[in-house]
Chains A and B, each alone.
Chain A
């Protein structure tokens, strides 16, 4: 340890995608402060979308050619980081389209017009009367995206923790902004915040223990020195486990999953879609880096723990999904079981597992986002009809919606010619024979149960009598594009997954 301060060198070409996103977010804050209310929606939407696109372009044109460790090893731009940053950007673009959906209203439909007011209070009524908008969601989303991009490229424990908070805090607010059933939404927000803070504490404490044992926070150095540290296992290994807990909370792994259904149900549906996809991508990205790089040397210790967590996650996700009656909760449990499948790839700890996990994340995100994008279309008495019984008979009343949604469900179930199949195949064939064969057997069993869950919904839509008061809204181009892209990706990644699989394969190399 030297005492002299030296300025870290930053390769700006490598981190410019993150800077663009954060810059756009700051512009968004200014817009919120200075632009009149009537013009904010379009301005914010344009800034957000342009920001995301620009960030993606810089990622492809600039950052891709400047792989390496930068900013004093605080940020690592390598294959997995680039691939997952790109995924977060693409999925976020679609999610923002969903959030902007207005259904002929003056403000985005999913969000309350006055987040700070007490539900049902005169203040709320007044805000609605004045035509208030909650366009703050756009800069909030951008901050969160920036946090996720940093999360997957963090090079040391502290930066990873900061990124975790940057991505999480905006989500806590976004969760509480639902237009309808506001109490449920605010309750979800508070729950998410409390539990998120709880898990962050674990992460931070774990980091402290690891630092205490090794005196190192940089992942690369941790990787090379963990094997040489002796006699400090009593601090080091619990530290590693506590870090794992913080990350497992974010992906919604059992027993750290309890927030998932409540939060997904309470949050505005597009936000649920955003959380269940991009957050999962980011958190798995961070987890992969943590376990494949920093804690690689402790694999003997964490692999059995993660394997047990994976089994629990798959089982709880699958079994609880069976009796759900709410579509958003059903998708929440489905996302839990998918997190379990993804953990199988993490446990595998090899290159195929890494590329398989990344491919699975992409495939899963497109399908999930499209599914969440379709939920707001089904309405009953002015609000979203999320109860399963309200989806009965949609096959007759709105065949297109039912057909697309059924296709997405088949994708979740992993039927061939959907991305779900190729993703499961890529993931599990990497895991088989690397000490995770029995996990794959469990995963197959659980995926049979979840398939039953999805098919039940299809049966409900096609074989039951329509429910009288349910109707389907005609979406604007915003939702239309997002859902179409998601469904098309589900199909294309099932039929011709080669380009993306190749990309994942070529990207599957961490720089230490």
Chain B
């Protein structure tokens, strides 16, 4: 595939990023004058991005398949000596697919927010952050180098952080924002290390440069880069072992959950892996690591999803699990790249749709999220019920709906190959599909079906049109998008020049038997959920449950693990190290320079305010340096 310089509409491609960025700046700096008009400006600018993206897409479609990549040079960013970094945009099939998803779903969610945030005093700030997010996300997918991608990467992180903590009067939300930031920083570290290794090994960090340089590189280097990229992807896409922030991130406003924590940002990790497909294709071990992470997350997410009573947290667990599918597909190599992206797109539609539906339910139910106090809502919220139902059918892979076309392809691909791997990954994906059907049916039945278990003060009602129209559009996508793109081969043909062609090979299980077993497992899942959560009454106080349920309620112990093995020891270590620094030296400030009172001898007096201790530390340093040299001699 050759990359051409951008011509025509593509040469103003930077406007796609620039317009929402401008919107964010306008709204943030505009002050109170823009309180009324601002949100509409934000929505318009986001749609404008979509239109430009669409025009570029049409322009690309008019060209032969192998000439569909265009590069737009923006400016020389860090052009010094060896580090010759320029900022530019790469517009190819893969990035344009993402542009379409981000701008279309994003703009719909902005429209929805007009209704959802109508009475919020701070909605100007909210829309500014959303525009900032859209701009950063577009920068992420349109960047032509890892470094520029990283700018977008941090930008979406920042926007997500700001939006999770948007209702910042609630300290719990602030903690969630904090956690999301910290776990993401671990991912970012992976990203930075990957870039440094690339720079060291290949003296370049642009996609085209890296892709060209991979051939002939040692396995070890490729594995190192691959693993670092995987860590980055895990942080951003809430994959094992960095997944625990996603559930807490649901503290943010629901449109944010739909846009950032379901449809777009959390899929950035999948984009990163597919964008680096040359590296992963060349390193089998790195791919294996990706598959393992994907498999663990898709199973873990599904199990957690079965135990959550909080509507949004159950959806978050499902997001984790579905992204696990995408990561697994990406890890399978050339057989899976296109399907990972395909599932990502359909998932963007149905999951965003369901989150908006959840927002609509919360809107009508005084912002409650406990599904044990829902039930029977289908009668009072017909539109929400139908649109949510279509998303539900899509995610469980009901034949004909979007998820059926994309997810079954991943399961099928997982069974391809020889040895133990297809059995392990294939069966995990297959069984998790059954569990998916169970927990999504549980969620759907508990919310919309069965008996009413409402608290006394709620008067559920349907949401206004600004909210329901986006839900309807997304529901249509949930129903038909898979059918349009999948069996027709549109998506695979479209992506083939970027991710490479895959030759069919051996399946350990495939064709009709596989489809049959997927279907049967799905039916079993639905039936179980029907028995437990529709036919039988749902208790308002959650039953104790099996140990597995209890573990799943606690996110399978991820938080406990973080708490007891990372955070607490870290805190204790730092606290005891700096005990004196805080307690003692701060106390000296009021004039009693004499020193410490009531010192505790068991603690190290590293920073106690005494000159003699300080000089002793220095002397020790000198002695150690000279001593070490002497020993080495």
Chain A interfacial positions (CB closer than 8 Å to B): 119, 181, 183-184, 187, 190-191, 194-195, 198-199, 202, 233, 237-238, 241-242, 245, 249, 254-256, 258-259, 261-262, 265, 301, 305, 319-320, 322-326, 329, 351-352, 355, 415-417, 422, 425-426, 428-429, 432-433, 437, 440-441, 444-445, 447-448, 451-452, 455-456, 459, 462-464, 496-498, 501-502, 504-505
Q: How far is the CB of B629 from chain A (nearest CB, A)?
A: 6
Which of B171, B200, B606 has the most CB atoms of chain A within a 10 A radius of its CB? B200
CA gap between A357 and B81 in the complex, in Å: 15
Q: How far is the CB of B605 from chain A (nearest CB, A)?
A: 11
Q: A245-B621, A429-B196, A437-B200 are in contact. List 7 more A-B contacts (CB 8 A).
A: A183-B593, A195-B618, A324-B581, A416-B151, A425-B147, A426-B78, A432-B200
Tell whether B520 is near chain A: CB-to-CB under 8 Å: no
A residues within 8 A CB of B582?
Answer: 323-325
A residues within 8 A CB of B498?
Answer: none
Q: How far is the CB of B232 from chain A (nearest CB, A)?
A: 12
Query: Of A187, A425, A448, A504, which is within 8 A of B186 by CB?
Result: A448
A455 and B615: CB pair below 8 A? no
> Can you name 11 A-B pairs with beta carbons within 8 Å?
A191-B614, A241-B625, A254-B621, A320-B581, A322-B570, A416-B155, A417-B151, A428-B196, A455-B182, A463-B165, A502-B80
B591 and A455: CB pair below 8 A? no
B residues within 8 A CB of A254?
Answer: 621
Tell whether B586 is near chain A: CB-to-CB under 8 Å: yes
B622 and A429: CB pair below 8 A? no
CA gap between A441 and B224 in the complex, in Å: 12
B residues within 8 A CB of A329?
Answer: 581, 585
CA gap between A198 and B570 in the complex, in Å: 34
Chain A interface, DSSP helix/strand/loop, else mixed: helix
A residues within 8 A CB of B153?
Answer: 416
CA gap between A237 and B629 in the complex, in Å: 9
Q: How far is the CB of B526 from chain A (nearest CB, A)?
A: 42
Question: Which residues of B156-180 have CB atoms within 8 Å of chain A's CB atoms?
Answer: 158, 165, 168, 171, 173-174, 177-178
A184 and B615: CB pair below 8 A? no
Shortest 7 CB-CB contacts between residues of A and residues of B: A463-B174, A255-B621, A501-B80, A433-B200, A258-B614, A416-B151, A432-B200
Tell whether B575 is near chain A: CB-to-CB under 8 Å: yes
B629 and A241: CB pair below 8 A? yes
A256 and B621: CB pair below 8 A? yes
Q: How far is the CB of A502 from chain B (nearest CB, A)?
A: 5
Q: How far is the CB of A236 from chain B (nearest CB, A)?
A: 11
Tell whether B550 is near chain A: CB-to-CB under 8 Å: no
B residues within 8 A CB of A258?
Answer: 606-607, 613-614, 617-618
CA gap between A440 and B200 in the complex, in Å: 12
Tell whether B626 is near chain A: CB-to-CB under 8 Å: yes
Question: What is the chain A residue whose CB lies nearest that of B200?
Answer: A433
B81 and A355: CB pair below 8 A? yes
A459 and B625: CB pair below 8 A? no
Question: What is the chain B residue whose CB lies nearest that of A181?
Answer: B589
CA gap between A245 and B625 in the complex, in Å: 9
B residues within 8 A CB of A202?
Answer: 622
Chain B interface, DSSP helix/strand/loop, else mixed: helix
Chain B interfacial positions (CB closer than 8 Å to A): 75-83, 147, 150-151, 153-155, 158, 165, 168, 171, 173-174, 177-178, 181-182, 185-186, 188-189, 192-193, 195-197, 199-201, 570, 573-575, 577-578, 581-582, 585-586, 588-589, 591, 593, 606-607, 609, 611, 613-615, 617-618, 620-622, 625-626, 628-629, 633
Q: How far is the CB of A382 from chain B (nearest CB, A)?
A: 15
A residues within 8 A CB of B629?
Answer: 237-238, 241, 301, 305
B154 and A415: CB pair below 8 A? yes
CA gap between A190 and B593 in the complex, in Å: 12
B residues within 8 A CB of A440?
Answer: 193, 196
B586 and A429: CB pair below 8 A? no
Query: Of B150, B154, B174, B201, which is within 8 A of A459 by CB?
Result: B174
B575 and A432: CB pair below 8 A? no
Given the interface pairs A319-B574, A320-B577, the reply to whether A198 lies near B615 with Cβ below 8 Å is yes
Question: What is the chain A residue whose CB lies nearest that of B82?
Answer: A352
Given the interface pairs A428-B196, A463-B165, the reply to whether A305 lies near B174 with Cβ below 8 Å is no
Query: Of B150, B185, B199, B626, which is within 8 A of A432 by CB?
Result: B199
A416 and B586: CB pair below 8 A? no
B residues within 8 A CB of A452?
Answer: 182, 185
B residues within 8 A CB of A184?
Answer: 588-589, 591, 593
B residues within 8 A CB of A444?
Answer: 189, 192-193
A183 and B591: CB pair below 8 A? yes
A residues within 8 A CB of B633?
Answer: 233
CA gap between A323 and B581 in the complex, in Å: 9
Q: How far is the CB of A251 from chain B (nearest CB, A)?
A: 14
B residues within 8 A CB of A352?
Answer: 81-83
Q: How far is the CB of A292 from chain B (nearest CB, A)?
A: 17
Given the interface pairs A195-B615, A459-B174, the reply to whether A416 lies near B154 with Cβ below 8 Å is yes
B574 and A323: CB pair below 8 A? yes
A242 and B622: CB pair below 8 A? yes
Q: How far is the CB of B143 from chain A (nearest CB, A)?
A: 11
A residues within 8 A CB of B79?
Answer: 498, 501-502
B residues within 8 A CB of A262?
Answer: 585, 609
Q: How far is the CB of A239 from chain B (nearest CB, A)?
A: 11
A429 and B607: CB pair below 8 A? no
CA gap between A254 and B611 in the complex, in Å: 16
B78 and A498: CB pair below 8 A? yes
CA gap between A301 and B178 in the complex, in Å: 43
Query: Of A256, A451, A456, which is within 8 A of B618 by CB?
Result: A256
A445 and B578: CB pair below 8 A? no
B192 and A187: CB pair below 8 A? no
CA gap between A233 and B630 in the complex, in Å: 11
A residues within 8 A CB of B609?
Answer: 262
A498 and B622: CB pair below 8 A? no
CA gap between A352 and B155 in the complex, in Å: 28
Query: Of A183, A265, A459, which is within 8 A of B177 by CB?
Result: A459
A187 and B593: CB pair below 8 A? yes
Query: Of A195, A422, A502, which is within 8 A of B614 by CB?
Result: A195
A498 and B77: CB pair below 8 A? yes
CA gap between A272 and B270 in the complex, in Å: 46
B residues within 8 A CB of A417?
Answer: 151, 154-155
